[in-house]
Structure formats: C-alpha cells, structure tokens
Amino acid sequence: MKHTDIYEVLRDKTLLGKSVTVCGWVRTFRDSAQVAFLELADGTSFARLQVVIDKNALSPDAECLKNGAAVCVRGEVVKAFKGEGHELNAAEVSLLGKCPPEYPIQKKRTTLEFLRTVPHLRLRTNTFTAAFRVRSVAAQAIHRYFHERRYYYINTPLITASDCEGAGEMFRVTTQPFNAKYPSEAEYYKNDFFGKKAGLSVSGQLEGEVAATAFSKIYTFGPSFRAENSNTTKHLAEFWHIEPEVAFADLADVMELAEEMIKYIISAVLTECADEIDFFDKFMEKGLKEKLLHVVNSDFAVCDYTQAVELLQQSGAQFQYPVSWGCDLQTEHERYLTETVFKKPVFVTNYPKEIKSFYMKQNPDGKTVAATDLLVPGIGEIIGGSQREEDYEKLLSAMNARGMDKSAYEQYLDLRIFGSVPHGGFGLGFERLVMYMTGIENIRDVTLFPRSVGNIM
C-alpha cells in the first residue's frame, strides 16, 4: 500500500500543501455535528497525527470513528492549528479494520499491571510505543558503538554443554521424555539428542573468549537464559545480553569500556528519542532527563568491595540481609551504595573469589578476584564483568575447587595453553539498561513477551 509514515507527515516541511495517504490506528477521536478529529498513530513517531474531517464534505464509515480502528486517510498536509507540527485535512477516509468496544486498550484502563495481561495489544499505548522505540534506538547505538571501534560482532551458540556462570541455572534442552529405566543420569543423557546433557546458554562469554583470542575485540548481542527462581522486577528467564570481550586488557580497561559504552548509548537515546524521554520524565520518573544528562557528563564512581562492605556496615541502615566481608551483595545493598552513598553509577570491584565465577582473574591477595559489577540507582547491578584468569594452572585449580567437570571446558582451557593473553570483558543486561533509561520499574514492561517463573504468556 503506498502511504507516508506519520513521522514524515508531521515533520517534512516540503509536504505542506501536498496530498498524502497515511495509515494507522485511531488513538482518540472527537466527534461533533460539523467536524470530527481523529488522532492517528502508526508507531513511526511518538507524536500522533491529527486528522480533521469536515463532516459537511465527508461522511466516513462510522466504524472509522472508534478507538482502535485501523484506517487509511488521504488528505492535505496543513500547519497544525496548535503547536509546530502538521495535521491532515481529510479528503477520503477508509476503514481497514474495525475495532469493537471490547478492545482492552481503553483510556481508563491503562495500569501497567492490567496491560501485562494483554501483551499482544499493549504496544499500542504511549508508554509501550515509547519504551520499545528507546529499546530499538539503544540496540542500534550499541552496534554502532562497537562497529565504529572495530569490534567484531559474533553470534555464540544458544544450546551449550557448559554452564558459564557455574550457578546451575541452566534450562535443559532435551528431546527425551522422562524414563525411569536408565540406571544413571549419564546413561539417560547418552540416549538424548546430543548424547550428553545440554542446556540453554546463560552467557556467550566462554565462546566470546575464543573469538577475542583471535580478533582481539569482539562483542555478542543475543539472548541468554536463566532458570533462576527469582520472581523480582529485574529478573527474566530470557533476556538480551551484550557481552564484549577484549584481548590485551585488564580490569581497568574493561571498566573504561563499560563506562564509555553506557554514556554513548544514553547520548544516542537522548538525541534520537527526545520526545520519548520527555514523556517518561513527565509520567514515569520525574527528573529522568536530568539524571541521564548527569550520567553522560560525570565520571562513574569506583569502590572496592571491601570498602563497600565497610560503608554498608557503618551506614546505620536497616538491611534485611546482614553485611559482612565475604557475603554476596543483595539488591538492597547495591541500591544503597549507588542511590544513597554515591548517587550515581558505581563500579564495585575486587569481590571475594568464593562468591564469583571460576574464570575470574585471581588477585595477588589470594582472597579476591579482578571482577566488577556496575550498579545504578533504581535497579542495582546492570553489568557484571571481570578480567579473566589467563594462567592455566590457576584456572584449573579454581575449577577443581568448585568440583567442575573439566571435560566440558577442554577447549576453554586450551586458550590458556596456546598463546594465552590477559583479557577481559563484561555482560550488560539489555532490559535493565532500558529500564534505567526510561524509568520503567518492572523488567516485564520493557520486554515484548516476558518469560519469568510461572509465566510464559
């Protein structure tokens, strides 16, 4: 169908006085004896197009004047009665698809909780149109950021036999029904599709390291899966994961990369999604724009884990989980550090080795690893990263200490035998970044069809 995007119609000055055809869904309408106004959205722009229908000249199908109806309008582009933009004086209005009154998207029923029950329709609301445009612009910015800096974009397998994080949070991939006749787990998997136990990858890092030790700079951008039984506002069973991996790099290089990348993405969103950010600033998080500008224009804080524990212990704050050296930081601790102590994004570094993954570079103190988490206000952790252990013996001993099955990691260990180099990287949770940039508080509202414990709508 030949038609013009509403984005163009609203902005393109050369269209003034010209006849165009637009297609979209009716968001609101006002009807009177003489004239009817339709607000039309086609998703190409956050602002909608006002269509003016002179009822003395036109008598459109009554179904066109209904909330949610899909219509096609030919008309003349004129200066808007109010404001800077353009509107359309209709010459012909035709119905593409009617929308009965049971349509769940009604002005008075727009709570996020309700809209979660209609994931197939909620994208037609302002909040979701805006959130998903931010998500799309951010994704493009991420690819641009890495591409401009000569990082190779690689795609790592989603089905894997190794558990990168070693946390036992893998979904199993199988074609076999349960069958009690097998005497052991190993026998059972031997008869399965791959001949051994397989699952959905929790991270592309291990394969990312393979690529980084050939190309020096790589990144992945794909889904990761976690069978975590965490029913929180920031956990999904399926999320999108950005994982750069860099050879000839130490922890400081990894942190520098993370900070520069986050600032680049936020700047792109501030420029390309100005309307959306204004909307979220008004309706979702007061001061959002100011916050994002501040993030772009100031340095992130850095805090050693040991110092973070002291700060938390001395804070006098009441935490549900007590803090002592060696404990994993809970979201409440992370948020206290970034919201109350530093009031901006903060890298926490050098965590105790027992609470972090096997692959992290062991520090000379024998107690900590060269790891970092980036914490941001409102959420807590959005990035987890580290320098990697490049020494074969040390890596092996970390795996032994965890009782890991080394047969699944032989190739990974080989990287430490053949031309091993200092290297590191991080993982950014894409949905958490979108939450941070929009002020949306629940990860289910920045995901098209969120998957979480007990929920696969």
**Phi, psi for 75 (deg, rounded to 5):** -175, 180
d(CA 7, CA 352): 52
Q: How many residues bind ligand 4AD (CB under 6 A)?
A: 23
Query: Do residues 346 and 295 lie in contact, with contact meaning Cβ atoms separated by under 8 Å?
Result: no
Among 239, 300, 305, 409, binds ligand 4AD (CB under 6 A): 239
Nearest to 247 by CA among 218, 282, 269: 218
Buried (b) or exposed (e) across 32-70, using 16+ Cβ within 10 A? eeeebbbbbbbebbbbbbbbbbeeeeeebeeebbbbbbb
Min dist. Cβ of residue 205 to Mg ion (A): 11
Q: What x-and-dash track marks residues 370-409 binding ligand 4AD by CB under 6 A?
A: -----------xxxxxx-----------------------
Nearer to ligand 4AD, 125 or 372 (CB): 372
129 binds, among Mg ion, ligand 4AD, none (CB under 5 to 8 A by kind): none
Footprint of ligand 4AD on 146-185 (CB under 6 A): 164-165
Task: State the nearest-atom distance from the C-beta of 80 to ligand 4AD, in Å.
Answer: 41
**Closest CB to ligand 4AD among 431 and 445?**
431
- Min dist CB 204 to ligand 4AD, Å, is 7
Nearest Cα residue to 165 out of 337, 347, 404, 327: 404
DSSP secondary structure code for residue 340 in this structure: I
Asked if 429 touches ligand 4AD (CB under 6 A), the answer is yes
List contacts with Mg ion (CB under 5 A): 384
> Which of the ranges 85-93, 332-340, 390-398, 423-431 carries the binding residues for ligand 4AD, by CB under 6 A?
423-431
Smallest distance from the beta carbon of 291 to ligand 4AD, in angstroms? Answer: 19
Phi, psi angles (nearest 5°) of residue 13: -65, -25
DSSP-assigned states of every residue in 62-128: GGGGSTT-EEEEEEEEEE-SSSSSEEEEEEEEEEEE---TT-S--TT---HHHHTT-TTTGGGSHHH
Q: Which is nearer to ligand 4AD, 23 or 254 (CB)?
A: 254
Host H or E run for residue 36: strand 35-41
Q: Residue 339 has what DSSP assignment?
A: I
Query: Among Mg ion, ligand 4AD, none, what does residue 390 contact (CB within 5–8 Å per kind)?
Result: none
Q: How far apart are CA 216 and CA 242, in angstroms?
A: 17
Tokens of 106: 């009604």
Q: Is 235 in the site for ligand 4AD (CB under 6 A)?
A: yes
Among ligand 4AD, Mg ion, none, what does residue 228 contact (CB within 5–8 Å per kind)?
ligand 4AD
Tell me if 74 sits within 8 A of 92, measured CB to CB. yes
List of E strands, 248-379? 301-304, 346-349, 371-376
Query: Closest approach of Cβ 381 to Mg ion, in Å?
Result: 6
- State the nearest-atom distance from the C-beta of 429 to Mg ion, in Å: 9
Return the number of the residue (187 or 354) whose C-beta is nearest ligand 4AD.
354
Q: Which among ligand 4AD, Mg ion, none contacts residue 39 (Cβ within 5 to 8 A by kind)?
A: none
123 with 132: CB under 8 angstroms?
yes
Buried b or exposed e, range 298-332, using 16+ CB within 10 angstroms: eebbebebbebbebbeeeeeeeeeebeeeeebebb
Helix and strand totals (H; E) in the chain:
13, 15
What are the start-end ranges of the E strands in 312-422? Answer: 346-349, 371-376, 380-387
205 binds ligand 4AD (CB under 6 A): yes
Output the smallest distance, CB 296 to ligand 4AD, in A. Answer: 20
Q: Provide, rounded to whole angstroms, the least separation between the CB of residue 373 and Mg ion.
A: 6
The answer to the question of residue 347 lying near ligand 4AD (CB under 6 A) is: no
Among 12, 228, 310, 441, binds ligand 4AD (CB under 6 A): 228
Residue selected from 86, 226, 263, 291 as contacting ligand 4AD according to rule CB under 6 A:
226
**How far does Cα 33 stand from its chain's mean position?**
47
The span of 89-97, 104-112, 116-124, 422-430 binding ligand 4AD (CB under 6 A) equals 422-430
Nearest distance from C-beta of residue 312 to ligand 4AD, angstroms: 19
Among residues 264 and 347, whose Cβ is nearest to ligand 4AD?
A: 347
156 or 357: CB nearest Mg ion: 357
> Quick one: what does residue 239 bind among ligand 4AD, Mg ion, none, with the CB cut-off 5 to 8 Å set by partner type?
ligand 4AD
Beta-carbon contacts of 383 under 8 Å, excluding residues fewer than 6 positions away, are 258, 262, 372, 373, 374, 426, 427, 428, 429
List contacts with ligand 4AD (CB under 6 A).
164-165, 203, 205, 226, 228, 235-236, 239, 241, 243, 381-386, 425-427, 429, 431-432
